[in-house]
Chains A and B, each alone.
Chain A
Amino acid sequence: MKNYLNQNPVVLKLTILLLAALFLLPLVVTSPTLMQIFILVILYAYFTSTWNFVGGFAGVLPLGHSAFVGIGAYTSTVLLQTYGLSPWFGMIVGGLLAAIVGVIIGLPTLKLRGAYFALATIAVGEGIRVLFENVKQVGPFKINGPSGISITLTENSFTAFQFDTKAPYYYIILIMLLVVLLLTYYMMNSKIGYYLAAGGEEPEAAEALGIKVSRYKVIAMAISCFLTALGGTFYAQLMLYFYPKSILGLDLSYEIAFIALIGGRGTILGPVLGALLLRPVSELTRIYIGDMLPGLHLVIFGLILIIVMRYYPKGLVVPVKALFNRHIIDRFSKPKRIDESTTTEKAD
């Protein structure tokens, strides 16, 4: 990355500009509805990026990831309501719980082939949802089954993870996203990243080189589940209300997976790109067409998915990068193209 940035001062300048714009955004946007949309876009970029650890790097197709969103949300909220524990701590507990569940699920299933793993994740995801829908209380914890839990808005403080305005939420999720992206970059350029890439591409060769492929996939799973659950807590604190179908459903799992796939799994920016393109579509169709034609945005998603997979199976990040290279980099600086750190997809 350092080499790349040195040779392309343009990209560095653009990145700084972009980051500045992102951080200054709340000062410019006043409408809470608009802010909410931005927050949700970044939240989805967050979810797709954490999904990416398993769906991109481990090379499998998890279609039940909303389970971990739910575990995060329920854990922190239930701890808040039962013990008054600050959601920040609850978040960590939720993350750890999700990681443990993820590892338990992953250990046997990550050895399965593509379609079987996908099916297994659907079964587990739906199973967890059914579980939450049917349980009203676990010990001292009230889960309320299908009606879900709502959080009362009591204060406006950082420790309570509740705010009067949208801006603090925005900054929190933005920072969370940036941290995840940094983590993704770091992982790609570490032993784990190399081993996961190898295991995903040629597992037999990888094993012959000393890599216990399944072990690394499980590690990726644990990281992904932990981070996803953190997002779940954020979602709970943002929306102040959630119920099994909203937070644990196949719909959410699929949406996350689809967006990541359309954007480009296994890359740093792909999932973010997907969220940037598709999330506004979702919000806009909901706002303007919403009740008249329910499900329209999912139809659009599905169609986009099919079309993109047909022409760009590696995701839209590939053509977008090519365009970026051609129009921005070449125009403004010495020709040295974008490489996703160590992967080179040009030869496609």
Chain B
Amino acid sequence: MIGIIEALINGILMGSIYGLTAVGLTLIFGVMKVINFAHGSILMVGMFAAYWFVILTGWNPYLAILIVVPLLFYFGYFMQSWVIKPIFEAEKDVREPITVIIVTTGIWYVLDNLALMIFGAEFRVAKTTVTGKIVEFMDMYFLLPKVIGAGITIACGIYLYWFLKHSKMGKAIRATSLDREAASLMGIKQSKIYNIAFGLGSACCGMAACVLVPFYYVYPTVGVPFDIKAFIIVVLGGLGSIPGAILGGVIIGIIENVGAQFMAATWTELLLYAVFLFVLLVKPSGLFGLKQDF
């Protein structure tokens, strides 16, 4: 019984980290109506950056946030404005921007395999000041970095939600996602918003990356499971909804961790795919999704 509660809480902790990654993805989708298949790879880039930061400086891993988050923001910003924008523009009037999806898939492949070439396939672990430390709570044990990570990601989620609701830029972003033409008529420059949205989405990955490095393996294809989970979460929570992404993340985390109590880890993977397909087919707009023509 205690095992299940422990798994449940672990699920919530891990889930909120998944959730932050998903928030980034949903933000990009909400604004640009594009599903960024390269999202996991961006996370991977962030993880390697944080890893090297820790290895090279030996400082507190959470300080990496100060460098990695802005780094990934600009990484995403420029990826959008240099690579994706021209293709996006060409497809603006097409009902289904498939070419953009194809290109982000290409970016995924390039990034993952570049990392493979440069860093090799080994699984790396960063030994940080918090790695391996445990927190005890009512006879249950949790990894400290996980707990810290969850805390940080939830705080980020709340901040982002507030930012979008109340700040000027946030409102501009929301306006563009609701009606890009109307927003542009109001003086909001569309391409700038897309760049920023992509940057913000990538920054979310950066934050998640820093929070993961103290306790998660770092390797070139680490982005893939996160990517797939992010898609699942985003569809579950509803494309374009931040609370949906966080809630969805938690649900996925719970399913994964509690499921592992009852079946082998690889079967939980299958379970997640099953959940995903179920949501896609039964309620594609997800829990909080915007009314789209799906």
**Direct A/B contact, Cβ within 8 angstroms:** yes
Q: Which residues 234-291 of B sit at the A interface, judged by CB distance below 8 A?
A: 235, 264, 266-267, 269-270, 273-274, 276-277, 280-281, 284
Interchain CA distance A261-B99 in the complex, whole Å: 10
Interchain CA distance A116-B270 in the complex, whole Å: 18
A113 beta carbon closer than 8 Å to chain B? yes
- List B contacts of A250 (CB < 8 A): 224
Interchain CA distance A220-B267 in the complex, whole Å: 31
Contact: B96 with A294, CB < 8 Å? no
Contact: A123 with B105, CB < 8 Å? no
Contact: B106 with A123, CB < 8 Å? no
Give min CB distance, B200 to chain A, whole Å: 20
B117 beta carbon closer than 8 Å to chain A? yes
Contact: B109 with A254, CB < 8 Å? yes
- List A contacts of B274 (CB < 8 A): 127
Interchain CA distance A1-B137 in the complex, whole Å: 76
Give min CB distance, B232 to chain A, whole Å: 8
Interchain CA distance A172-B30 in the complex, whole Å: 49
Contact: A261 with B294, CB < 8 Å? no
From B10-18, B83-91, B203-211, give the one contacting chain A. B83-91
Given contacts A134-B267, A299-B109, contact A115 B114 (CB under 8 A): no
Interchain CA distance A124-B228 in the complex, whole Å: 12
B103 beta carbon closer than 8 Å to chain A? yes
Q: Which residues 71-106 of B sit at the A interface, judged by CB distance below 8 A?
A: 83, 86-87, 90-91, 96-99, 101-103, 105-106
Give min CB distance, B130 to chain A, whole Å: 32
Judged by DSSP, the binding face of A is helix
Nearest neighbor of A314 in chain B, beta-carbon distance = B99
Interchain CA distance A19-B97 in the complex, whole Å: 38
Judged by DSSP, the binding face of B is helix
Interchain CA distance A153-B83 in the complex, whole Å: 49
Contact: A130 with B269, CB < 8 Å? yes
Q: Which residues 112-131 of B sit at the A interface, judged by CB distance below 8 A?
A: 112-114, 116-117, 121
Given contacts A122-B228, A302-B106, contact A115 B280 (CB under 8 A): no
Give min CB distance, B181 to chain A, whole Å: 21
Contact: A258 with B106, CB < 8 Å? yes
- List A contacts of B114 (CB < 8 A): 295, 299
A63 beta carbon closer than 8 Å to chain B? yes
Interface size of A by CB at 8 A reads 39
B4 beta carbon closer than 8 Å to chain A? no
Contact: A305 with B103, CB < 8 Å? yes
- List A contacts of B103 (CB < 8 A): 305-306, 309-310
Interchain CA distance A113-B35 in the complex, whole Å: 12
Give min CB distance, A274 to chain B, whole Å: 13
Contact: A116 with B116, CB < 8 Å? no
Q: Which residues 283-336 of A sit at the B interface, judged by CB distance below 8 A?
A: 293-296, 298-299, 301-303, 305-306, 309-310, 313
Given contacts A293-B117, A298-B113, A299-B110, contact A61 B266 (CB under 8 A): no
B107 beta carbon closer than 8 Å to chain A? yes
Give min CB distance, B85 to chain A, whole Å: 10
B219 beta carbon closer than 8 Å to chain A? no
Nearest neighbor of A61 in chain B, beta-carbon distance = B98
Given contacts A61-B101, A120-B280, contact A134 B109 (CB under 8 A): no
Q: Which residues 88-133 of A sit at the B interface, judged by CB distance below 8 A?
A: 108-109, 112-116, 118-120, 122-124, 126-127, 130-131, 133
Contact: B284 with A116, CB < 8 Å? yes
Interchain CA distance A124-B281 in the complex, whole Å: 13
Given contacts A299-B117, A302-B113, contact A313 B231 (CB under 8 A): no
Known: A115-B35, A133-B266, A309-B106. 12 other contacts (CB 8 A): A61-B102, A112-B280, A122-B228, A123-B228, A123-B276, A130-B269, A134-B270, A250-B224, A299-B117, A302-B110, A305-B103, A306-B103
Pairs across A and B, CB under 8 Å, 23 listed = A113-B293, A114-B97, A116-B235, A120-B276, A120-B277, A126-B228, A130-B269, A133-B266, A134-B267, A254-B105, A254-B109, A258-B106, A294-B117, A295-B114, A298-B110, A298-B113, A302-B109, A303-B106, A306-B83, A306-B103, A309-B87, A310-B103, A313-B90
A interface residues with partner B (beta carbon < 8 Å): 61, 63, 108-109, 112-116, 118-120, 122-124, 126-127, 130-131, 133-134, 250, 254, 258, 261, 293-296, 298-299, 301-303, 305-306, 309-310, 313
